[in-house]
Amino acid sequence: MAAQLTGTFSNFLIRVRRYLNEDTAEKSRWSQEFLKHLFNTQYRVRSAELEMAHEGYFTIVATRDIVANQNRYAWPSSFQRLFKMEIVRADGRRVPIQREERHFASLNIPSAGGDEWLPDYRPVGSGFMLEPASTQSITNGLRIEYTGIPEELIDDGDTLHSDFPAMLDEILVLDTVVVAMDAERYLESSPGQMDSVQRQRMEWQVKWERFIDGRMVSTQKVIPFIPSYLDA
């Protein structure tokens, strides 16, 4: 019994061509490089959907040094969404810190570090701020869990990220086949090209909106309303 082709980039492309009834790239409507591009595009789409499930897919752990009297830091490279931020104590304990926009509370004075230093964080542009800052430098004093970007497949032996459900990898093959057939259709007629591109843009727009809606997983402090008087 023949084994199913799975796993590597070259085998994914073989599976795509089987659906297209063109086993090789020679004399094909679709070049190998074009199918590689389409496959990676669909891989990004499905990976984005997994990330938006908020289930910890593609999680990366990074540490940062705390610099004395510095409160602004950049997100790690390939950062997409924050899962958790922790202060690492000298004895190895990790203490989660909370997001606080501080619309009403005053900024505390910088702390000398140690166990008494427990800042809040708030995202700012392509980074974040710790408030209050530490007056001491701490090596690897900050631990960040975040969603990163799965790397594109380039070489024949490249494989999907280990977090991608292997049992469902056929969806990437079929996604690529459908987009390749769309490409053939819009090459044959100008109206078809516009319809196909518009449809793909609409699909990406929906994912864009979902991504923006869930940009940062965080907890904010809420002070409940306390009336200034009580009914008699």
pLDDT digits (tens, 9 = 90+) for 164-197: 998 889 989 988 988 888 777 665 555 555 565 6
- Evaluated on CA atoms 98, 100, 104, 108, the torsion sign reads positive
Q: Is the pLDDT of residue 36 over 90?
A: yes
Q: Which amino acid is at 139?
A: T
Confidence class for position 6, pLDDT limits 50, 70, 90: low
Using a cut of 0.85, tell me whether the model's pTM lies above it: no
- 120 has which bridge partners? 131
H-type alpha helices, 3-149:
9-20, 32-51
- Evaluated on CA atoms 79, 84, 87, 89, the torsion sign reads negative
Q: Is the pLDDT of residue 149 over 50?
A: yes
Looking at residue 186, its pLDDT comes to: 60
- List, for residues 95-121, the tens digit of each pLDDT value: 999 998 888 878 877 766 667 889 999
- The region, left, alpha or beta by phi > 0 then psi within -120 to 50, assigned to residue 102 is left
Query: Within its chain, how far is the Cα of 153 from the centroid?
Result: 17
Chain position carrying tokens 């090596």: 139
Helix (H) or strand (E) holding 145: strand 138-147
What backbone phi and psi angles, to 5 degrees, belong to 213?
-60, -35
